[in-house]
A and B are shown apart, each in its own frame.
Chain A
Amino acid sequence: MKAIAARRHHKLAPVVLLALALLVTGVLYAAFTPSTAQAASAPTENDLTAGSNLFRANCSTCHGVNAEGRAGAGPSLIGVGAAAVDFQVSTGRMPLMNQGAQAPAKPPIFTEEQIRQMAAWVASLGPGPAIPAPEAVDPSKGDAASGMELFRTNCAMCHGAVGQGGALTEGKFAPNLSTASPTTIYEAMVTGPQSMPVFNDGTVTPQEKRDIIAYLDAQKQGSPGGATLGSIGPVAEGMWAWIAGLGLLIGAAVWIGAKSS
């Protein structure tokens, strides 16, 4: 112990300590970071100010100046987390263009930087789901077969067997997932936007979420059988059978029955 005590005053001691501290922090960070941790570096004061200003200019009409929500206009956003903001704004669902059955996706009107700033400000109002880290949504780290079982139990009844979308009541619908990014899919699960239920980490674990993303990613390879016909099932198949199939065959019959000139 004396030896250590003696060296405590070594001139390099602070450097070694600092290095050790950094190492421990790094290891601990890597070990304990939840996969939902903020991927980007912590927001600066400037980000929060910019986010707050953007929010007041674009969102406060419905959600209130301090995101406390306004009755009949928009819900409170305190505690919805950065994931909700990123999902709603990056898919163009917010700001809402006009009141309808539900907010449709459209081209986003903010830059990634602006979205990050608004998300940071909303996240600072109360704890909520964060934007997932890239490896949390990496399809190559998921198991598509497990994803298939989870998807069809939890998702397929609304989004269809391979995520092609489907109808809900009164004009609402579950959107097609073929163009949704893995991050968006993840954020939708943890935040439960609009009609969608919430799938928190207790309901569908982070690993299971990645499996679901892997399953949806596997659909990008297309169908082994040829054109997918929209993957909407027997109605599309019936239409092709009648219009293309029977159409061609009746065309052939007309040719057979016509007199040659």
Chain B
Amino acid sequence: MSTNASAPKLAAPVDILDQRTGVATFIKAFARKVFPDHWSFLLGEIALFSFIILLLTGTFLTLFFVPSSDLVTYTGPLAAMNGVEMSRAFASTLHLSFEVTGGLLMRQIHHWAALIFMAAIVTHMMRVFFTGAFRKPREINWVIGFTLMILGLAAGFSGYSLPDDVLSGNGLRITDGVVKSIPIIGSYLSYFIFGGEFPGTHIIPRLFTVHILLVPGLILALVGLHLFLVVLHKHTQYPGGGRTERNVVGYPIFPVYMAKQAGYFLIIFGVLALMGATLTINPVWNYGPYDPSPVSAGAQPDWYMLFLEGALRLTPGFLEVVIGGFTLSLNVLIPAVVVPGILFTTLALYPFVESWATGDKREHHLADRPRNAPVRTATGVSVLTAFMVLILAGSNDLIATHFHMSINAITWTFRILLFVLPVVTFMVTKRIALGLQRKDRELVLHGHESGKIVRFDTGEYIEVHQPLDEQERWIRVQHDPRRPIPLLPEHNERGVRRRGYRRDALRTRVSEFFYADRVEPVTPAEVAAAQAHGEHDALPAAGHAMAELTASKDGSSAG
């Protein structure tokens, strides 16, 4: 075969490169690697590609932006800004927006890309969470992704404040207030950040360094690691015929996946260009150059910081206490430091918590269907609900004006909903997930309703059920049943108390919380039993007993 004259040869550039680097081995191994195809696997790509667009447009902006707090008098096309004294940072933002052709477009694409970047990161995290794609061996990559989200927040916040306008300046002022509330070191931390008293002249250049060097550098490095691990682990895939824990089914990188990736990058750039061309974002000329005195109604941060704003708005003031002459501002610390601290720590550690609770140390490459992990799904929905309530609370003044309601009533409503709604959504989601699993069982055991009614000789009417084909059935029965870890007795056979019993007991309780309520996948025996009763009507025996058995445990340990 190798002597076949028609066998393709390496193209000249590849040949030259290969003789110096051995790249052909890499191409051979890599070019036909298989990636599974599913829309939800592209959410991470939205984040990745908007990051690339952020780098491109950001580079454009740095060529015209001057990160300086020196005061200048601006002259330019906008009447409302003409002759106004402002920092060079703000003046250069106006200059690049109004007098550099394409400057405003790039600024708007940059800011829209930042919002989409964070939105895509959150959506991508949701996908990974709800499908259990964080399980072994991907826990490290989950932590890397989590770190990327935090870095994204840092990038967004530092960039948002750069134009030195009133809106972002008040955001910095709030940051200063939050930092000062930190016990013991707060005042010094404020000086550390601002180089002296707020606002000072150091913060803009400092944020600039953070925004264009430190944070993007770290993001780039971690994105590289993130993608390396994706390739190393090979992508997860959804369950289906022929898809197992030991294989990956999909399309080769070259050419299909490459074409799709390149195409998707271009589409994302196109959509962001469309948004940048038509929708005003962060019109700093409306807010004016920073001055500590003014503030405008509708003072909010970009959406990804809105939950902190909402938490600050909801927390009542009586929590500020004085202990031994020292002031402890719990009314600020709890919403701005403790709540996000708990939220982020839980998020980062979740894979380890779940694997500890399940005792599951196997590798997982098949994604879970969210219904098959009811407690995980419910936990995710519950946390998202709390996040959503906080976002809405951060917009309470806009809700008040747009729906003609009292801002005080809205604030009180959200104070209550923040505690009630996550519990409600947890329970409802868990019930829905279990219900969907029962529906799956029902379908597998009895097939689709065909709508055909048949009358027997005996006068009995029944509806004919169409059994599932094996592909349909497989999706509904492929998952492993998960059960709580049984607790070994406290005393061993010689009556001696076991070491580690209390830890095991806790673990069993957590495990029960996860898996006590469950619906098990249908087994071949159950289908056989169901069919033995006639294809149409298989309720008694196994199926029914099953439903009762699982139902009997519902509620007993739901909390």
Contact A223 B280 (CB under 8 A): yes
Contact A156 B42 (CB under 8 A): no
B264 CB–A CB distance under 8 Å:
yes
Contact B294 A250 (CB under 8 A): no
Contact B408 A245 (CB under 8 A): no
Contact A245 B296 (CB under 8 A): no
Contact A164 B407 (CB under 8 A): no
> Bound state CA distance, A244 and B272, in angstroms?
10
* Given A170-B407, A235-B303: A225 and B280 interface contact (C-beta under 8 Å): yes
Residues on A with beta carbons closer than 8 Å to the beta carbon of B401: 165-167, 173
Q: Per-residue CB proximity of B171-200 to A under 8 Å, as 1/0?
A: 000000000000000000000000000000
Contact B267 A252 (CB under 8 A): yes
* Given A225-B104, A226-B278: A231 and B115 interface contact (C-beta under 8 Å): no
Contact B287 A145 (CB under 8 A): no
> Bound state CA distance, A245 and B117, in angstroms?
10
Among B268, B297, B395, contact of A157 (Cβ-Cβ < 8 Å): B297
Contact B37 A160 (CB under 8 A): no
Question: Interface-forming stretch among A48-56, A63-71, A87-95, A253-261?
Answer: A253-261
> Bound state CA distance, A233 and B397, in angstroms?
12
Contact A101 B406 (CB under 8 A): yes
A185 CB–B CB distance under 8 Å:
no
Contact B293 A156 (CB under 8 A): no
Q: How many A-B residue pairs have CB under 8 A?
A: 206
Contact A249 B116 (CB under 8 A): yes
> Bound state CA distance, A23 and B271, in angstroms?
68
- Which residues 485-544 of B have a CB within 8 angstroms of A? none
Among A145, A170, A237, A257, contact of B80 (Cβ-Cβ < 8 Å): A145
Residues on B with beta carbons closer than 8 Å to the beta carbon of A231: 283, 286
Contact B286 A162 (CB under 8 A): yes
Contact B405 A226 (CB under 8 A): no
> Bound state CA distance, A166 and B299, in angstroms?
10
Residues on A with beta carbons closer than 8 Å to the beta carbon of B83: 145
Contact A235 B288 (CB under 8 A): no
Residues on A with beta carbons closer than 8 Å to the beta carbon of B406: 101, 169-171
> Bound state CA distance, A167 and B394, in angstroms?
13
Residues on B with beta carbons closer than 8 Å to the beta carbon of A144: 79-80, 82
Chain B CB count within 10 A is highest, among A156, A157, A241, for A241
Residues on B with beta carbons closer than 8 Å to the beta carbon of A164: 297-298
Contact B119 A240 (CB under 8 A): no
> Bound state CA distance, A214 and B82, in angstroms?
13
A213 CB–B CB distance under 8 Å:
no
Closest Cβ neighbor of B42 among chain A residues:
A253
* Given A215-B80, A245-B275: A156 and B294 interface contact (C-beta under 8 Å): yes
- Shortest distance in angstroms between A261's beta carbon and chain B's nearest beta carbon? 15
Interface size of B by CB at 8 A reads 74
* Given A231-B283, A235-B298, A256-B263: A173 and B400 interface contact (C-beta under 8 Å): yes
Contact A166 B97 (CB under 8 A): no
* Given A235-B395, A244-B275, A256-B263: A167 and B407 interface contact (C-beta under 8 Å): yes
Closest Cβ neighbor of A175 among chain B residues:
B401
A16 CB–B CB distance under 8 Å:
no
Contact B267 A246 (CB under 8 A): no
A174 CB–B CB distance under 8 Å:
yes
B167 CB–A CB distance under 8 Å:
yes
- Shortest distance in angstroms between A35's beta carbon and chain B's nearest beta carbon? 22
B146 CB–A CB distance under 8 Å:
no
Q: Per-residue CB proximity of B46-85 to A under 8 Å, as 1/0?
A: 1000000000000000000000000000000011111110
Residues on B with beta carbons closer than 8 Å to the beta carbon of A253: 39-40, 42-43, 45-46, 264
Closest Cβ neighbor of A227 among chain B residues:
B279
Contact A159 B297 (CB under 8 A): yes
- Shortest distance in angstroms between A217's beta carbon and chain B's nearest beta carbon? 10
A224 CB–B CB distance under 8 Å:
yes
Given contacts A218-B80, A228-B280, A234-B306, 9 further A-B contacts (CB under 8 A): A144-B82, A157-B297, A167-B398, A169-B408, A241-B116, A244-B275, A245-B116, A246-B123, A252-B264
A-B complex: 4 closest residue pairs judged by Cβ atoms:
A166-B297, A238-B303, A225-B280, A257-B39
